[in-house]
């Protein structure tokens, strides 16, 4: 049996667990406390699940596939770069709703198998992204009253 997929699973789940614990810690240290109730709930669940997955990987009880191939990484890399730009710069610099809509549109354009040389598919992507913006705004601003990073536009 090849140990590479198992070690990949341990490393990946360990990194996700570390990020989960860090995000959870940050959410519990921010003020005002009422503004971070929803992020605290979500980050706690995320951290618990990530630690559970990491523990299963360490004990060898997780179902391990063949690991990530170079071809899979090439397909994931553009989305990962867009996500990193969003998390570390765009959400604060452009505002949450503006940045998340741009990121959603970019990811949709990158991974949508529809042809990129037809106007109809671009209109469809724009309409879907606008619908995404409406749902995100309705969910976070109106329903949950969550504070989001604000800058340009809203």
82 lies in the same domain as 60: no
Distance CA 3, CA 10 (A): 11
Distance CA 5, CA 143 (A): 42
8 Å CB contact between 10 and 58: yes
Residue where a domain stops, chosen among 49, 67, 85: 67
Number of domains in the chain: 2
Place of tokens 């299963």: 56
pTM value?
0.63
8 Å CB contact between 82 and 104: no
**38-41 long-range CB contacts below 8 Å, 24 or more apart?**
38/144, 38/146, 39/146
* Range name among 11-20, 86-95, 107-116 with the lowest pLDDT average: 86-95
User: What pLDDT does 1 receive?
Assistant: 43
Average pLDDT over residues 80-96: 84
62 lies in the same domain as 133: no
Over residues 23-60, the pLDDT tens digits come to: 899 889 888 777 777 788 999 999 999 999 999 988 88
* Range name among 12-26, 63-77, 96-110 with the lowest pLDDT average: 63-77
Question: Does residue 153 register a pLDDT over 60?
Answer: no
Residue 82, domain extent: 68-154
Q: Which residue has the higher pLDDT, 37 or 152?
A: 37
């Amino acid at each position: 049996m090849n140990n590479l997929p198992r070690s990949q699973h341990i490393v990946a789940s360990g990194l996700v667990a570390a990020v989960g614990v860090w995000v959870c810690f940050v959410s519990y240290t921010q003020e005002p406390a009422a503004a971070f109730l929803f992020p605290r709930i979500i980050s706690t669940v995320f951290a618990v699940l990530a630690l559970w997955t990491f523990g299963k990987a360490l004990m060898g009880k997780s179902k391990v596939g063949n690991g990530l191939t170079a071809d899979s990484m090439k397909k994931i890399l553009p989305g990962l770069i867009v996500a990193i730009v969003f998390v570390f710069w765009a959400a604060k610099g452009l505002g949450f709703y503006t940045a998340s809509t741009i990121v959603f549109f970019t990811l949709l354009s990158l991974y949508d198998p529809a042809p990129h040389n037809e106007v109809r598919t671009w209109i469809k992507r724009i309409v879907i992204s606008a619908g995404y913006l409406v749902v995100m705004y309705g969910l976070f601003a109106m329903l949950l009253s969550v504070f989001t990073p604000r800058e340009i536009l809203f």
